[in-house]
Structure 1
């Protein structure tokens, strides 16, 4: 691993622990100047310094030395497809992508960006669907009820405009996910719009 990758990994791990450079220096019993030089890539920690840093960050030395974001289009595909879980319940369309994003956001290229966009879109979608259902049903449907797609299909039997709108929104969600699966296989960035930027 080159100095820059090692420096950025240590910095990322420090921030994940919620440490300032001063706190890392204190926890690792290294000087602040040493921590600053390591994070700037001016020096590479070896031996005792590496051991102290890894102990302070509560990670394995191998986690730092072998780390480099890898490319995995398969994982990006599955991450995008995880949004389809909204079909079973809209909250699953948020929870499953969040779990997948947390697990690999620092390990696989593109997961952080794709995950945030997908999660923002699914939160926006869920809020919109339930706002519409609550208004149109007079409070009959709630978040813990059946999925929005089930409600739309059951309401569609009455051929109402409301049910058609909910069904169209569900179909738009599905088509957007499929489009982003194709984009990820081509190595392109994902695009989920519209979405309120809850996660930046």
Structure 2
């Protein structure tokens, strides 16, 4: 979003509420110079500044931002697809989406919700993959957890083979979730990444 778009939006809302720049500065606890620079398009309100302005103008931060629907959808699609990097290495399924989310955080509609749900799912998924990858090795070394391993017997395979087979199954599940939620984002629907541990709230 260009600075000038946000500047117009803030100026329009301020005028509509009959506030001067000085009054807005006082109510938002920002300096008059900051208000002037934002309204002049010299700087863009972000993070805490955006929150303060929204509160002073009695709107949500979302309402302050001039959404461009096609750009929103495009970036949300890219954000979801970025999790496919887990195919190269599991941790990349967290790192790449996290970097993209931080880049556009609070700038695109639904990005915080989408980013948190995606990251919670990817972190939970990584923990499961590590568990199913490492646990059989640990049990072989220390001869522990035999009953747990036997509990994972599937398709008439041995307990250890069944346990190891869970890793490719988890990869397929992750792939399906990413594709489905990419389509949901493109159609401006909320993403569904469950079950997941809510690390980010």
> Given the two structures, how large is their TM-score scaled by the length of structure 1?
0.62
Question: Aligned equivalents of 2:25 and 2:186: distance in 1?
Answer: 39
Contact 2:77 2:186 in 1 (8 A): yes
Q: Write the deviation string for residues 43-97 of structure 1: whole angstroms up to 9, x where unpaired.
A: x986x3525889xxxxx73313995344321111111011111111111000000
Q: Write the deviation string for residues 86-137 of structure 1: whole angstroms up to 9, x where unpaired.
A: 1111110000000000001221112111111111100000011101211112
Contact 1:68 1:107 in 2 (8 A): no
Residue correspondence of structure 1 range 120-159 to structure 2 within 5 A: 120-138=120-138
Q: From the superposition, tell whether residues 119 and 191 of structure 1 become closer, same or farther in structure 2 (CA, over 3 Å).
A: same
Contact 1:70 1:107 in 2 (8 A): no
Match of 1:63 in 2: 44
Contact 2:132 2:166 in 1 (8 A): no
Contact 1:121 1:193 in 2 (8 A): yes
> Given the two structures, how large is their TM-score scaled by the length of structure 2?
0.62
Which stretches of structure 1, 4 residues or longer, exceed 4 Å deviation after superposition?
Answer: 3-7, 33-36, 51-54
Match of 2:166 in 1: 165
Give unmatched runs, 5+ long, in structure 2.
1-7, 15-21, 47-63, 141-156
Question: Aligned equivalents of 2:165 and 2:11: distance in 1?
Answer: 53
Contact 2:25 2:31 in 1 (8 A): no
Which entry has the higher C-alpha Rg, 1 or 2?
2
Match of 2:27 in 1: 37
Contact 2:9 2:66 in 1 (8 A): no
Q: From the superposition, tell whether residues 62 and 135 of structure 1 become closer, same or farther in structure 2 (CA, over 3 Å).
A: same
Report the aligned-residue RMSD: 3.6
Give unmatched runs, 5+ long, in structure 1.
8-30, 55-59, 141-155
